Structure 1
Amino acid sequence: MIEQGQKLPAATLSQLTADGMVNHQVQELFAGKKAVLFAVPGAFTPTCSEAHLPGYVVLADQLKAKGVDIIACVAVNDAFVMKAWGEAQNASEIMMLADGDASFTKAIGLEMDTEQFGGIRSQRYAMIIEDGVVKQLNVEPPKSFEVSNAETILASL
Structure 2
Amino acid sequence: MTIKVGDTLPSVNLKYCPYDPSLEHACGIPQNLSTDSFKGKKVVIFGVPGAFTPTCNNSHLPEFHQKFQELTAKGVDQVICISTSDAFVMDAWGKWTKTNDKLILAADGNGEFVTATGLAQDLTKIGFGPLRSQRFALVADDLKVTYIGVETGSGVSVSGATAVLAAL
Q: TM-score range by the shorter chain?
A: over 0.9
CA contact (8 A) 1:57 1:90 kept: no
1:14-68 CA-to-partner distances (Å, cap 9, x unmatched) read 00224632112212x2110011110000000000000000000100011111110
- Deviation of the 1:142 alpha carbon: 3.5
Distance in 1 between the 2:112 and 2:54 partners? Answer: 24
Q: TM-score of the superposition, structure 2-length normalised?
A: 0.89
RMSD value over aligned CA atoms? 1.1
1:68-100 CA-to-partner distances (Å, cap 9, x unmatched) read 000110000000000110111111100111000
Residue 68 of structure 1 is aligned with which of 62, 76, 79? 76
Does residue 101 of structure 1 match 2:110? yes
Unaligned runs of 5+ in 1: none
Distance in 1 between the 2:59 and 2:156 partners? Answer: 9
> Secondary structure of 1:127's partner?
strand
Distance in 2 between the 1:38 and 1:24 partners? Answer: 15
CA contact (8 A) 2:44 2:78 kept: yes
1:8-157 pair list within 5 angstroms: 8-17=9-18, 18=20, 20-27=29-36, 29-91=37-99, 92-115=101-124, 116-119=126-129, 120-157=131-168
Distance in 2 between the 1:149 and 1:117 partners? Answer: 25
Aligned to 2:25: none
- Deviation of the 1:118 alpha carbon: 1.5
CA contact (8 A) 2:55 2:155 kept: no
The number of residues matched between the two structures is 156
Identical aligned pairs, as a percentage?
A: 40
Unaligned runs of 5+ in 2: 21-27
- Deviation of the 1:145 alpha carbon: 1.9
